Chain A
Amino acid sequence: MEAAHGGASYLISNYVFPNDLHVHWSMMIVLYPYLSGLVDGAFIVAALYYVFGVKSLKPIARFSLIFALSFLFCVGLPVMLHLGRPERNLNMLVTPSPSSAMAGGGYLFMVTLTVLLLLILFLYRAFLVTKQHESKGLKRLFYQVLTFGSDNVSEEALALDKKVIKFLAALGIPVATIFHGYVGFLFGGVKANPSWSTPLMPVIFLFSACVSGISGIILAYIVIKRIRKAPIDTACVRTLINTLFGFFILAFSFEMLEVFSHHYLRSGYHHMVQGLLNGPLFTSFWIWQVGICSFGPLLILGWLCLFRVKDSAFVIGSAVVSFILLLQVLFMRWNVIIGGQLMSKSARGYTEFHPEWFDKEGIIAVLVVMAVPFILLFILSRIFPLWVEEKNET
Protein backbone atom coordinates (compact mmCIF):
# COMPACT_ATOMS: atom_id res chain seq x y z
CA MET A 1 0.00 0.00 0.00
CA GLU A 2 1.47 3.30 -1.03
CA ALA A 3 1.83 5.80 1.72
CA ALA A 4 0.30 9.21 1.24
CA HIS A 5 2.91 11.70 0.16
CA GLY A 6 3.28 15.42 0.09
CA GLY A 7 0.76 17.57 1.89
CA ALA A 8 -1.77 14.78 2.25
CA SER A 9 0.64 12.83 4.44
CA TYR A 10 0.32 15.56 7.04
CA LEU A 11 -3.35 14.78 7.53
CA ILE A 12 -2.98 11.13 8.47
CA SER A 13 -3.20 11.53 12.20
CA ASN A 14 -5.60 14.49 12.46
CA TYR A 15 -3.54 16.26 15.05
CA VAL A 16 -4.98 19.51 16.38
CA PHE A 17 -2.94 21.78 18.64
CA PRO A 18 -4.33 21.62 22.19
CA ASN A 19 -5.33 25.29 22.08
CA ASP A 20 -6.95 24.93 18.64
CA LEU A 21 -9.78 22.66 19.70
CA HIS A 22 -12.08 25.56 20.52
CA VAL A 23 -13.48 27.77 17.76
CA HIS A 24 -13.18 31.28 19.17
CA TRP A 25 -14.94 33.31 16.49
CA SER A 26 -18.38 31.83 16.43
CA MET A 27 -21.72 32.71 14.84
CA MET A 28 -21.77 36.29 16.07
CA ILE A 29 -18.60 36.98 14.14
CA VAL A 30 -20.28 35.47 11.08
CA LEU A 31 -23.16 37.89 11.60
CA TYR A 32 -21.06 41.01 12.00
CA PRO A 33 -19.71 41.08 8.41
CA TYR A 34 -23.12 39.95 7.23
CA LEU A 35 -24.87 42.92 8.81
CA SER A 36 -22.21 45.44 7.83
CA GLY A 37 -22.25 43.99 4.33
CA LEU A 38 -25.97 44.60 4.10
CA VAL A 39 -25.36 48.22 5.14
CA ASP A 40 -22.71 48.64 2.49
CA GLY A 41 -24.76 46.98 -0.25
CA ALA A 42 -27.90 48.94 0.54
CA PHE A 43 -25.92 52.15 0.48
CA ILE A 44 -24.45 51.34 -2.91
CA VAL A 45 -28.00 50.94 -4.25
CA ALA A 46 -28.93 54.39 -2.93
CA ALA A 47 -25.71 55.82 -4.32
CA LEU A 48 -26.59 54.52 -7.77
CA TYR A 49 -29.58 56.84 -7.71
CA TYR A 50 -28.26 59.85 -5.79
CA VAL A 51 -24.76 59.96 -7.28
CA PHE A 52 -24.98 58.17 -10.61
CA GLY A 53 -28.51 59.24 -11.46
CA VAL A 54 -30.01 55.86 -12.29
CA LYS A 55 -33.58 57.14 -12.51
CA SER A 56 -35.30 53.76 -12.45
CA LEU A 57 -34.10 53.23 -8.90
CA LYS A 58 -36.01 56.22 -7.53
CA PRO A 59 -38.76 54.12 -5.91
CA ILE A 60 -36.33 52.36 -3.57
CA ALA A 61 -33.71 55.08 -3.13
CA ARG A 62 -34.95 56.32 0.24
CA PHE A 63 -36.00 52.84 1.25
CA SER A 64 -32.44 51.62 0.72
CA LEU A 65 -31.09 54.29 3.02
CA ILE A 66 -33.55 53.56 5.81
CA PHE A 67 -32.83 49.86 5.33
CA ALA A 68 -29.11 50.58 5.62
CA LEU A 69 -29.66 52.65 8.75
CA SER A 70 -31.71 49.94 10.50
CA PHE A 71 -28.89 47.48 9.94
CA LEU A 72 -26.20 50.00 10.83
CA PHE A 73 -27.77 50.60 14.22
CA CYS A 74 -27.47 46.86 14.88
CA VAL A 75 -23.92 46.09 13.74
CA GLY A 76 -22.59 46.60 17.24
CA LEU A 77 -24.89 43.96 18.68
CA PRO A 78 -23.05 40.80 17.51
CA VAL A 79 -19.72 42.36 18.50
CA MET A 80 -20.88 43.12 22.02
CA LEU A 81 -22.27 39.61 22.37
CA HIS A 82 -18.95 38.16 21.28
CA LEU A 83 -16.51 40.17 23.38
CA GLY A 84 -15.23 38.46 26.51
CA ARG A 85 -15.40 41.80 28.29
CA PRO A 86 -18.07 43.88 26.53
CA GLU A 87 -18.07 46.41 29.36
CA ARG A 88 -14.58 47.40 28.19
CA ASN A 89 -15.64 48.04 24.60
CA LEU A 90 -14.79 51.73 24.94
CA ASN A 91 -11.14 50.69 25.06
CA MET A 92 -11.34 50.40 21.29
CA LEU A 93 -12.23 54.06 21.05
CA VAL A 94 -9.92 55.31 23.78
CA THR A 95 -6.74 53.42 22.88
CA PRO A 96 -7.19 52.13 19.33
CA SER A 97 -4.08 50.41 18.08
CA PRO A 98 -2.93 51.93 14.78
CA SER A 99 -1.77 48.53 13.53
CA SER A 100 -5.01 46.71 14.19
CA ALA A 101 -7.80 46.53 11.61
CA MET A 102 -10.30 45.83 14.34
CA ALA A 103 -9.45 49.08 16.11
CA GLY A 104 -10.72 51.00 13.11
CA GLY A 105 -14.18 49.59 13.58
CA GLY A 106 -15.38 51.98 16.25
CA TYR A 107 -14.35 55.15 14.43
CA LEU A 108 -15.44 53.91 11.00
CA PHE A 109 -18.81 53.07 12.48
CA MET A 110 -19.23 56.59 13.83
CA VAL A 111 -18.24 58.18 10.53
CA THR A 112 -20.56 55.91 8.57
CA LEU A 113 -23.41 56.55 10.98
CA THR A 114 -22.86 60.30 10.75
CA VAL A 115 -22.85 60.32 6.96
CA LEU A 116 -25.85 58.01 6.61
CA LEU A 117 -27.91 59.71 9.31
CA LEU A 118 -27.20 63.19 7.94
CA LEU A 119 -28.03 62.06 4.43
CA ILE A 120 -31.37 60.71 5.56
CA LEU A 121 -32.16 63.80 7.63
CA PHE A 122 -31.37 66.08 4.70
CA LEU A 123 -33.44 64.00 2.31
CA TYR A 124 -36.44 64.04 4.61
CA ARG A 125 -35.97 67.56 5.91
CA ALA A 126 -38.86 69.17 4.04
CA PHE A 127 -41.18 66.36 5.14
CA LEU A 128 -39.96 66.57 8.73
CA VAL A 129 -40.49 70.32 8.81
CA THR A 130 -44.10 69.77 7.74
CA LYS A 131 -44.53 67.15 10.46
CA GLN A 132 -43.01 69.58 12.93
CA HIS A 133 -45.67 72.17 12.15
CA GLU A 134 -48.39 69.55 12.45
CA SER A 135 -47.31 68.35 15.89
CA LYS A 136 -47.54 69.63 19.39
CA GLY A 137 -45.49 69.27 22.56
CA LEU A 138 -42.87 66.53 22.81
CA LYS A 139 -43.50 65.30 19.29
CA ARG A 140 -42.90 68.80 17.97
CA LEU A 141 -39.64 69.01 19.89
CA PHE A 142 -38.62 65.65 18.45
CA TYR A 143 -39.11 66.89 14.91
CA GLN A 144 -37.35 70.14 15.71
CA VAL A 145 -34.31 68.19 16.81
CA LEU A 146 -34.40 66.10 13.65
CA THR A 147 -34.47 69.27 11.55
CA PHE A 148 -31.73 70.93 13.58
CA GLY A 149 -34.07 73.62 14.78
CA SER A 150 -34.61 75.05 11.32
CA ASP A 151 -37.96 75.24 9.53
CA ASN A 152 -36.61 77.14 6.56
CA VAL A 153 -37.75 75.37 3.42
CA SER A 154 -37.26 78.25 1.00
CA GLU A 155 -35.88 77.57 -2.46
CA GLU A 156 -32.41 78.64 -1.37
CA ALA A 157 -32.54 76.24 1.57
CA LEU A 158 -33.75 73.37 -0.58
CA ALA A 159 -31.12 74.09 -3.21
CA LEU A 160 -28.47 73.98 -0.50
CA ASP A 161 -29.96 70.73 0.77
CA LYS A 162 -29.65 69.24 -2.73
CA LYS A 163 -25.96 70.12 -2.87
CA VAL A 164 -25.35 68.66 0.59
CA ILE A 165 -27.22 65.48 -0.36
CA LYS A 166 -25.08 65.06 -3.46
CA PHE A 167 -21.95 65.64 -1.40
CA LEU A 168 -22.94 63.23 1.38
CA ALA A 169 -24.05 60.53 -1.03
CA ALA A 170 -20.77 60.78 -2.93
CA LEU A 171 -18.81 60.81 0.33
CA GLY A 172 -20.84 57.85 1.47
CA ILE A 173 -19.51 55.59 -1.24
CA PRO A 174 -15.90 55.46 -0.02
CA VAL A 175 -17.09 55.62 3.58
CA ALA A 176 -19.38 52.62 3.22
CA THR A 177 -16.73 50.83 1.16
CA ILE A 178 -14.09 51.30 3.83
CA PHE A 179 -16.57 50.48 6.57
CA HIS A 180 -17.10 47.03 5.14
CA GLY A 181 -13.76 46.73 3.43
CA TYR A 182 -11.89 46.90 6.72
CA VAL A 183 -13.86 43.86 7.86
CA GLY A 184 -12.52 41.94 4.91
CA PHE A 185 -9.03 43.10 5.74
CA LEU A 186 -9.56 42.01 9.33
CA PHE A 187 -9.43 38.46 8.00
CA GLY A 188 -7.08 39.13 5.12
CA GLY A 189 -4.43 40.40 7.52
CA VAL A 190 -4.15 37.17 9.52
CA LYS A 191 -1.13 35.40 8.06
CA ALA A 192 -1.50 32.48 10.47
CA ASN A 193 -4.67 31.30 8.79
CA PRO A 194 -4.12 29.88 5.28
CA SER A 195 -7.65 30.48 4.03
CA TRP A 196 -7.88 34.01 5.39
CA SER A 197 -4.57 35.54 4.44
CA THR A 198 -5.11 36.68 0.89
CA PRO A 199 -5.10 40.19 -0.58
CA LEU A 200 -8.39 39.30 -2.27
CA MET A 201 -10.24 39.04 1.02
CA PRO A 202 -11.46 42.67 1.22
CA VAL A 203 -12.44 42.52 -2.47
CA ILE A 204 -14.41 39.32 -2.03
CA PHE A 205 -16.12 40.65 1.06
CA LEU A 206 -17.03 43.92 -0.66
CA PHE A 207 -18.52 42.39 -3.77
CA SER A 208 -20.48 39.82 -1.82
CA ALA A 209 -21.63 42.63 0.48
CA CYS A 210 -23.07 44.41 -2.53
CA VAL A 211 -24.76 41.17 -3.55
CA SER A 212 -26.32 40.76 -0.12
CA GLY A 213 -27.37 44.40 0.07
CA ILE A 214 -29.05 44.46 -3.32
CA SER A 215 -30.72 41.10 -2.65
CA GLY A 216 -31.89 42.36 0.73
CA ILE A 217 -33.41 45.46 -0.83
CA ILE A 218 -35.15 43.48 -3.57
CA LEU A 219 -36.58 40.90 -1.21
CA ALA A 220 -37.64 43.43 1.43
CA TYR A 221 -39.20 45.66 -1.23
CA ILE A 222 -41.23 42.85 -2.74
CA VAL A 223 -42.30 41.43 0.60
CA ILE A 224 -43.31 44.76 2.12
CA LYS A 225 -45.21 45.82 -0.98
CA ARG A 226 -47.01 42.49 -1.10
CA ILE A 227 -47.96 42.73 2.57
CA ARG A 228 -49.32 46.23 2.04
CA LYS A 229 -51.02 45.08 -1.17
CA ALA A 230 -49.29 47.96 -2.95
CA PRO A 231 -48.02 47.95 -6.54
CA ILE A 232 -44.43 46.94 -7.33
CA ASP A 233 -42.41 49.09 -9.73
CA THR A 234 -41.10 46.34 -12.00
CA ALA A 235 -38.79 48.65 -13.93
CA CYS A 236 -37.04 49.34 -10.64
CA VAL A 237 -36.79 45.64 -9.85
CA ARG A 238 -35.41 44.93 -13.31
CA THR A 239 -32.68 47.51 -12.84
CA LEU A 240 -31.85 46.06 -9.45
CA ILE A 241 -31.68 42.53 -10.85
CA ASN A 242 -29.35 43.62 -13.64
CA THR A 243 -27.09 45.32 -11.11
CA LEU A 244 -27.27 42.27 -8.88
CA PHE A 245 -26.26 40.02 -11.76
CA GLY A 246 -23.23 42.18 -12.45
CA PHE A 247 -22.09 42.29 -8.86
CA PHE A 248 -22.70 38.60 -8.35
CA ILE A 249 -20.65 37.61 -11.38
CA LEU A 250 -17.81 39.67 -9.95
CA ALA A 251 -18.20 38.26 -6.42
CA PHE A 252 -18.46 34.67 -7.60
CA SER A 253 -15.53 35.06 -10.00
CA PHE A 254 -13.30 36.37 -7.26
CA GLU A 255 -14.39 33.62 -4.88
CA MET A 256 -13.63 30.95 -7.45
CA LEU A 257 -10.41 32.64 -8.54
CA GLU A 258 -9.23 32.49 -4.94
CA VAL A 259 -9.90 28.77 -4.65
CA PHE A 260 -8.53 27.92 -8.07
CA SER A 261 -5.42 30.04 -7.71
CA HIS A 262 -4.48 28.40 -4.41
CA HIS A 263 -5.26 24.99 -5.83
CA TYR A 264 -2.87 25.65 -8.70
CA LEU A 265 -0.07 27.24 -6.71
CA ARG A 266 -0.21 24.63 -3.92
CA SER A 267 2.13 26.68 -1.78
CA GLY A 268 2.41 26.99 1.96
CA TYR A 269 -0.24 25.17 3.90
CA HIS A 270 -2.46 24.64 0.89
CA HIS A 271 -3.01 21.00 1.78
CA MET A 272 -4.96 22.23 4.80
CA VAL A 273 -7.33 24.33 2.70
CA GLN A 274 -7.77 21.55 0.19
CA GLY A 275 -8.44 19.05 2.97
CA LEU A 276 -10.89 21.50 4.52
CA LEU A 277 -12.92 22.10 1.38
CA ASN A 278 -12.96 18.43 0.43
CA GLY A 279 -13.53 17.27 4.00
CA PRO A 280 -15.41 19.03 6.80
CA LEU A 281 -16.61 21.83 4.52
CA PHE A 282 -17.57 19.77 1.49
CA THR A 283 -21.31 20.05 1.99
CA SER A 284 -21.49 23.65 3.09
CA PHE A 285 -18.99 24.91 0.47
CA TRP A 286 -19.31 22.86 -2.72
CA ILE A 287 -22.91 21.75 -2.42
CA TRP A 288 -24.50 24.75 -0.74
CA GLN A 289 -22.38 27.84 -1.36
CA VAL A 290 -21.17 26.98 -4.86
CA GLY A 291 -23.77 24.53 -6.14
CA ILE A 292 -27.20 25.47 -4.93
CA CYS A 293 -26.59 29.06 -3.96
CA SER A 294 -24.24 30.19 -6.74
CA PHE A 295 -24.92 28.15 -9.86
CA GLY A 296 -28.63 28.25 -9.12
CA PRO A 297 -28.79 32.06 -8.97
CA LEU A 298 -26.51 32.35 -11.99
CA LEU A 299 -29.05 30.39 -13.97
CA ILE A 300 -32.04 32.27 -12.57
CA LEU A 301 -30.37 35.66 -13.07
CA GLY A 302 -29.36 34.66 -16.55
CA TRP A 303 -32.95 33.81 -17.34
CA LEU A 304 -34.25 37.03 -15.74
CA CYS A 305 -31.75 39.34 -17.40
CA LEU A 306 -31.18 37.80 -20.81
CA PHE A 307 -34.69 36.68 -21.72
CA ARG A 308 -38.03 38.41 -22.05
CA VAL A 309 -39.83 37.55 -18.82
CA LYS A 310 -43.36 38.62 -17.90
CA ASP A 311 -43.63 41.01 -14.98
CA SER A 312 -45.44 38.64 -12.64
CA ALA A 313 -42.92 35.85 -13.19
CA PHE A 314 -40.12 38.36 -12.96
CA VAL A 315 -41.16 39.53 -9.52
CA ILE A 316 -41.43 35.99 -8.19
CA GLY A 317 -38.11 35.04 -9.76
CA SER A 318 -36.47 38.13 -8.28
CA ALA A 319 -37.72 37.33 -4.80
CA VAL A 320 -36.53 33.72 -5.07
CA VAL A 321 -33.08 34.58 -6.41
CA SER A 322 -32.64 37.31 -3.81
CA PHE A 323 -33.43 34.90 -1.04
CA ILE A 324 -30.99 32.32 -2.38
CA LEU A 325 -28.26 34.92 -2.73
CA LEU A 326 -28.80 36.17 0.81
CA LEU A 327 -28.21 32.55 1.80
CA GLN A 328 -25.14 32.35 -0.44
CA VAL A 329 -23.51 35.31 1.26
CA LEU A 330 -24.29 33.86 4.68
CA PHE A 331 -22.74 30.54 3.65
CA MET A 332 -19.71 32.34 2.29
CA ARG A 333 -19.21 34.19 5.60
CA TRP A 334 -19.70 30.95 7.53
CA ASN A 335 -17.31 28.94 5.37
CA VAL A 336 -14.61 31.58 5.57
CA ILE A 337 -14.90 32.46 9.24
CA ILE A 338 -15.87 29.25 10.95
CA GLY A 339 -14.44 27.02 8.23
CA GLY A 340 -11.14 28.84 8.47
CA GLN A 341 -10.91 28.11 12.18
CA LEU A 342 -11.50 24.41 11.72
CA MET A 343 -7.97 24.15 10.38
CA SER A 344 -5.51 23.68 13.19
CA LYS A 345 -2.28 25.64 13.01
CA SER A 346 -0.56 22.30 13.45
CA ALA A 347 -1.08 21.85 9.68
CA ARG A 348 -2.11 18.33 10.56
CA GLY A 349 -5.75 18.25 11.49
CA TYR A 350 -9.18 19.77 11.83
CA THR A 351 -11.34 20.54 14.82
CA GLU A 352 -15.12 20.60 14.95
CA PHE A 353 -17.66 23.33 15.47
CA HIS A 354 -20.81 22.63 17.43
CA PRO A 355 -23.28 25.52 17.55
CA GLU A 356 -25.04 25.87 20.87
CA TRP A 357 -28.67 26.80 21.25
CA PHE A 358 -28.65 28.96 24.36
CA ASP A 359 -25.15 30.39 24.39
CA LYS A 360 -24.74 34.17 24.09
CA GLU A 361 -23.38 33.38 20.65
CA GLY A 362 -25.86 30.58 20.10
CA ILE A 363 -28.60 29.89 17.60
CA ILE A 364 -31.35 31.67 19.52
CA ALA A 365 -29.13 34.72 19.91
CA VAL A 366 -28.43 34.68 16.17
CA LEU A 367 -32.13 34.63 15.35
CA VAL A 368 -32.77 37.52 17.72
CA VAL A 369 -29.91 39.58 16.29
CA MET A 370 -31.19 38.98 12.75
CA ALA A 371 -34.70 40.02 13.76
CA VAL A 372 -33.77 43.28 15.50
CA PRO A 373 -32.88 45.24 12.30
CA PHE A 374 -36.29 44.46 10.85
CA ILE A 375 -38.01 45.66 14.01
CA LEU A 376 -35.94 48.82 13.73
CA LEU A 377 -36.90 49.14 10.09
CA PHE A 378 -40.54 49.06 11.10
CA ILE A 379 -39.99 51.72 13.79
CA LEU A 380 -37.97 53.94 11.45
CA SER A 381 -40.64 53.62 8.76
CA ARG A 382 -43.04 55.34 11.14
CA ILE A 383 -40.72 58.36 11.29
CA PHE A 384 -39.33 58.29 7.77
CA PRO A 385 -41.90 57.02 5.30
CA LEU A 386 -40.24 54.46 3.11
CA TRP A 387 -41.82 55.51 -0.17
CA VAL A 388 -42.33 58.85 -1.81
CA GLU A 389 -45.97 58.38 -2.83
CA GLU A 390 -46.91 57.87 0.80
CA LYS A 391 -45.76 61.38 1.66
CA ASN A 392 -47.27 64.65 0.66
CA GLU A 393 -43.96 65.91 -0.70
CA THR A 394 -41.84 65.63 -3.83
Chain B
Amino acid sequence: MRDVIEGGDLQSTYNSHVKRIVVGLIVFVVLGFAGKKLLAPKSFGVYGHYRADAIEEAAAVDIRHGTNASCLSCHAFEAKIHLSGQHRTISCEFCHGTYADHAKDGKKIGTLPVKQNEEINTLCLRCHNRAIQARPEEVIKTIIMPAHLEDQKVKTTHFCNQCHHVHAPLRYINRAKRIVGIQETG
Protein backbone atom coordinates (compact mmCIF):
# COMPACT_ATOMS: atom_id res chain seq x y z
CA MET B 1 0.00 0.00 0.00
CA ARG B 2 1.57 3.12 -1.00
CA ASP B 3 1.44 6.16 1.11
CA VAL B 4 2.07 8.96 -1.28
CA ILE B 5 2.48 12.29 0.29
CA GLU B 6 1.48 15.15 -1.88
CA GLY B 7 2.89 18.36 -0.72
CA GLY B 8 5.40 20.95 -1.56
CA ASP B 9 7.40 20.10 -4.63
CA LEU B 10 8.25 16.50 -3.82
CA GLN B 11 6.22 13.45 -4.57
CA SER B 12 7.97 10.51 -2.98
CA THR B 13 6.93 7.02 -2.14
CA TYR B 14 8.15 5.32 1.00
CA ASN B 15 11.12 3.88 -0.83
CA SER B 16 11.93 6.59 -3.38
CA HIS B 17 15.10 7.54 -1.57
CA VAL B 18 16.33 3.96 -1.43
CA LYS B 19 15.63 3.47 -5.11
CA ARG B 20 17.46 6.67 -5.95
CA ILE B 21 20.46 5.63 -3.87
CA VAL B 22 20.68 2.20 -5.47
CA VAL B 23 20.37 3.65 -8.97
CA GLY B 24 22.87 6.33 -8.12
CA LEU B 25 25.38 3.79 -6.84
CA ILE B 26 24.99 1.63 -9.91
CA VAL B 27 25.45 4.62 -12.22
CA PHE B 28 28.51 5.71 -10.22
CA VAL B 29 30.08 2.26 -10.42
CA VAL B 30 29.39 1.92 -14.13
CA LEU B 31 30.72 5.39 -14.90
CA GLY B 32 33.67 4.71 -12.65
CA PHE B 33 34.69 1.56 -14.44
CA ALA B 34 34.13 3.21 -17.80
CA GLY B 35 36.34 6.08 -16.70
CA LYS B 36 38.94 3.62 -15.45
CA LYS B 37 39.06 1.93 -18.82
CA LEU B 38 39.30 5.25 -20.64
CA LEU B 39 41.98 6.71 -18.42
CA ALA B 40 44.19 3.64 -18.42
CA PRO B 41 47.17 4.04 -20.75
CA LYS B 42 46.74 2.28 -24.05
CA SER B 43 49.60 -0.18 -23.81
CA PHE B 44 48.73 -1.19 -20.26
CA GLY B 45 48.30 -4.87 -19.59
CA VAL B 46 49.83 -6.20 -22.82
CA TYR B 47 52.56 -8.18 -21.07
CA GLY B 48 51.51 -7.70 -17.47
CA HIS B 49 50.31 -5.06 -15.08
CA TYR B 50 52.36 -2.25 -16.56
CA ARG B 51 52.62 0.00 -19.57
CA ALA B 52 54.16 -2.09 -22.33
CA ASP B 53 55.43 1.08 -24.06
CA ALA B 54 57.65 1.69 -21.06
CA ILE B 55 59.94 -1.13 -22.18
CA GLU B 56 60.90 0.60 -25.42
CA GLU B 57 61.16 3.92 -23.59
CA ALA B 58 63.66 2.32 -21.24
CA ALA B 59 65.59 0.95 -24.21
CA ALA B 60 65.72 4.35 -25.91
CA VAL B 61 67.51 6.16 -23.07
CA ASP B 62 70.60 8.00 -24.33
CA ILE B 63 73.95 6.34 -23.89
CA ARG B 64 76.59 8.42 -22.20
CA HIS B 65 79.58 6.12 -22.12
CA GLY B 66 81.07 4.81 -25.32
CA THR B 67 83.49 1.97 -24.91
CA ASN B 68 87.26 2.01 -25.17
CA ALA B 69 86.88 1.02 -28.80
CA SER B 70 84.88 4.16 -29.50
CA CYS B 71 87.59 6.35 -27.95
CA LEU B 72 90.43 4.52 -29.64
CA SER B 73 88.77 4.70 -33.02
CA CYS B 74 89.68 8.38 -33.16
CA HIS B 75 92.63 8.50 -30.81
CA ALA B 76 94.89 6.08 -32.63
CA PHE B 77 98.12 7.37 -31.12
CA GLU B 78 96.94 6.80 -27.58
CA ALA B 79 95.32 3.57 -28.72
CA LYS B 80 98.57 2.04 -29.75
CA ILE B 81 100.18 2.77 -26.43
CA HIS B 82 97.14 1.95 -24.29
CA LEU B 83 96.50 -1.38 -25.90
CA SER B 84 100.13 -2.38 -25.51
CA GLY B 85 100.30 -1.90 -21.77
CA GLN B 86 99.00 -3.25 -18.50
CA HIS B 87 96.32 -0.58 -18.37
CA ARG B 88 94.54 -1.85 -21.47
CA THR B 89 91.60 -3.02 -19.39
CA ILE B 90 91.12 0.39 -17.81
CA SER B 91 88.33 2.50 -19.23
CA CYS B 92 89.46 5.72 -20.91
CA GLU B 93 86.24 7.30 -19.74
CA PHE B 94 86.93 6.54 -16.10
CA CYS B 95 89.88 8.94 -16.04
CA HIS B 96 88.77 11.34 -18.72
CA GLY B 97 84.99 11.52 -18.72
CA THR B 98 82.15 10.20 -20.80
CA TYR B 99 81.88 9.99 -24.56
CA ALA B 100 78.60 11.93 -24.41
CA ASP B 101 80.42 14.95 -22.97
CA HIS B 102 82.98 14.81 -25.74
CA ALA B 103 81.46 13.96 -29.09
CA LYS B 104 78.06 13.94 -30.70
CA ASP B 105 77.09 12.98 -34.21
CA GLY B 106 80.72 12.69 -35.18
CA LYS B 107 81.65 16.16 -33.94
CA LYS B 108 83.56 17.18 -30.87
CA ILE B 109 81.31 19.03 -28.47
CA GLY B 110 83.57 19.36 -25.46
CA THR B 111 87.07 18.82 -24.19
CA LEU B 112 87.61 16.09 -21.68
CA PRO B 113 89.92 16.81 -18.75
CA VAL B 114 93.42 15.36 -18.45
CA LYS B 115 94.58 14.74 -14.94
CA GLN B 116 97.71 16.49 -13.68
CA ASN B 117 100.15 16.19 -10.80
CA GLU B 118 98.49 15.40 -7.46
CA GLU B 119 95.34 14.31 -9.25
CA ILE B 120 97.35 11.62 -10.95
CA ASN B 121 98.77 10.34 -7.69
CA THR B 122 95.31 10.20 -6.16
CA LEU B 123 93.95 8.37 -9.17
CA CYS B 124 96.75 5.81 -9.22
CA LEU B 125 96.53 5.11 -5.52
CA ARG B 126 92.82 4.38 -5.86
CA CYS B 127 93.80 1.00 -7.18
CA HIS B 128 97.44 0.49 -6.37
CA ASN B 129 97.59 1.31 -2.69
CA ARG B 130 98.61 -1.83 -0.80
CA ALA B 131 97.52 -0.37 2.53
CA ILE B 132 93.99 -1.44 1.65
CA GLN B 133 95.08 -5.07 1.82
CA ALA B 134 92.22 -6.43 -0.25
CA ARG B 135 93.93 -6.44 -3.56
CA PRO B 136 95.16 -9.87 -4.63
CA GLU B 137 98.63 -9.81 -6.19
CA GLU B 138 97.52 -11.89 -9.14
CA VAL B 139 94.89 -9.28 -9.99
CA ILE B 140 96.86 -6.08 -9.51
CA LYS B 141 100.31 -5.00 -8.40
CA THR B 142 100.24 -2.75 -5.34
CA ILE B 143 102.71 -0.48 -3.64
CA ILE B 144 102.96 1.56 -0.47
CA MET B 145 103.70 5.26 -0.68
CA PRO B 146 106.09 6.86 0.03
CA ALA B 147 108.04 3.61 0.57
CA HIS B 148 107.78 2.86 -3.15
CA LEU B 149 109.56 6.10 -4.03
CA GLU B 150 112.22 5.51 -1.41
CA ASP B 151 112.82 1.97 -2.70
CA GLN B 152 113.26 3.28 -6.22
CA LYS B 153 115.63 5.95 -4.90
CA VAL B 154 113.46 8.72 -6.26
CA LYS B 155 112.42 12.05 -4.72
CA THR B 156 109.34 11.64 -2.53
CA THR B 157 107.75 14.67 -4.16
CA HIS B 158 107.58 12.85 -7.47
CA PHE B 159 104.27 12.18 -9.16
CA CYS B 160 103.55 8.73 -10.50
CA ASN B 161 103.62 9.80 -14.12
CA GLN B 162 107.17 11.10 -13.86
CA CYS B 163 108.29 7.48 -14.14
CA HIS B 164 105.20 5.66 -15.36
CA HIS B 165 103.41 6.37 -18.62
CA VAL B 166 99.81 6.65 -17.50
CA HIS B 167 98.48 4.69 -20.47
CA ALA B 168 101.15 1.99 -20.37
CA PRO B 169 102.70 2.07 -16.91
CA LEU B 170 105.63 -0.22 -17.53
CA ARG B 171 106.55 1.26 -20.90
CA TYR B 172 109.38 3.51 -19.73
CA ILE B 173 110.30 1.17 -16.91
CA ASN B 174 110.93 -1.66 -19.33
CA ARG B 175 112.70 0.62 -21.77
CA ALA B 176 114.97 1.81 -18.97
CA LYS B 177 115.67 -1.75 -17.92
CA ARG B 178 116.54 -2.70 -21.50
CA ILE B 179 118.91 0.21 -21.73
CA VAL B 180 120.56 -0.70 -18.48
CA GLY B 181 120.63 -4.33 -19.55
CA ILE B 182 118.29 -5.82 -16.95
CA GLN B 183 115.97 -8.65 -17.97
CA GLU B 184 112.50 -7.48 -18.96
CA THR B 185 109.89 -8.33 -16.36
CA GLY B 186 107.00 -8.57 -18.83
Contact = CB atoms under 8 A, between A and B. Distances in A.
A393 interface: no
Contacts of A160: 14-15, 18
A98 B49 contact: yes
A154 B14 contact: yes
B16 interface: yes
Interface string B14-57: 11111011001100000000001001110010000100000000
A357 interface: no
Contacts of B18: 160, 164
B5 interface: yes
A93 to B, nearest CB: 7
A98 B48 CA distance: 11
Contact of B17 (A95, A152, A154): A152
B14 A152 contact: yes
Question: DSSP class of B's interface residues: helix, strand, loop or mixed?
Answer: mixed
Given A98-B49, A125-B17, A93 B36 contact: yes
A156 B17 contact: no
How extensive is the interface on chain B, given as a class?
20 to 34
A387 interface: no
Contact of B3 (A118, A156, A164): A156
Given A125-B17, A148-B16, A164-B18, A154 B5 contact: yes
A97 interface: yes
Contacts of A125: 17
Interface residues of A, number: 23
Nearest to B2: A156
A150 B10 contact: yes
Contact of A152 (B12, B24, B36, B44): B12
A94 interface: yes
Contacts of A156: 1, 3, 14
A94 B40 contact: yes
Contacts of B161: none
A118 B49 CA distance: 34
Interface string A81-121: 00000000010011101110000000000000010001000
B8 interface: yes
A172 to B, nearest CB: 15
A70 interface: no
Contacts of A157: 3, 14-15, 17
Q: Which of A95, A114, A118, A150 has the most CB of B within 10 A?
A: A150
Contacts of B15: 157, 160
B13 interface: yes
Contacts of B3: 152, 154, 156-157
Contact of A149 (B7, B17, B36, B41): B17
A5 B21 CA distance: 66
Contacts of B8: 133, 151
A149 B14 contact: no
B91 to A, nearest CB: 22
B12 A94 contact: no
Contacts of A208: none
B118 to A, nearest CB: 27
B140 to A, nearest CB: 24
A90 B39 contact: yes
A144 B39 contact: no
Given A97-B49, A98-B49, A148 B20 contact: yes
A136 to B, nearest CB: 12
Given A150-B12, A152-B12, A152-B14, A95 B44 contact: yes
A148 B21 contact: yes
B50 to A, nearest CB: 8
A278 to B, nearest CB: 33
Contacts of A149: 10, 12, 16-17, 20
A-B pairs, top 9 by smallest CB distance, nearest first, are A150-B12, A150-B17, A148-B17, A157-B14, A156-B14, A152-B12, A150-B16, A154-B3, A94-B39
Given A150-B12, A157-B15, 18 more contacts: A93-B36, A99-B49, A133-B8, A148-B16, A148-B24, A149-B12, A149-B17, A150-B20, A151-B5, A151-B8, A152-B5, A152-B14, A154-B5, A157-B3, A157-B14, A160-B14, A160-B15, A164-B18
9 contacts: A90-B39, A94-B39, A95-B41, A99-B49, A148-B21, A151-B12, A152-B13, A156-B1, A157-B17
Interface of A: 90, 93-95, 97-99, 114, 118, 125, 133, 144, 147-152, 154, 156-157, 160, 164
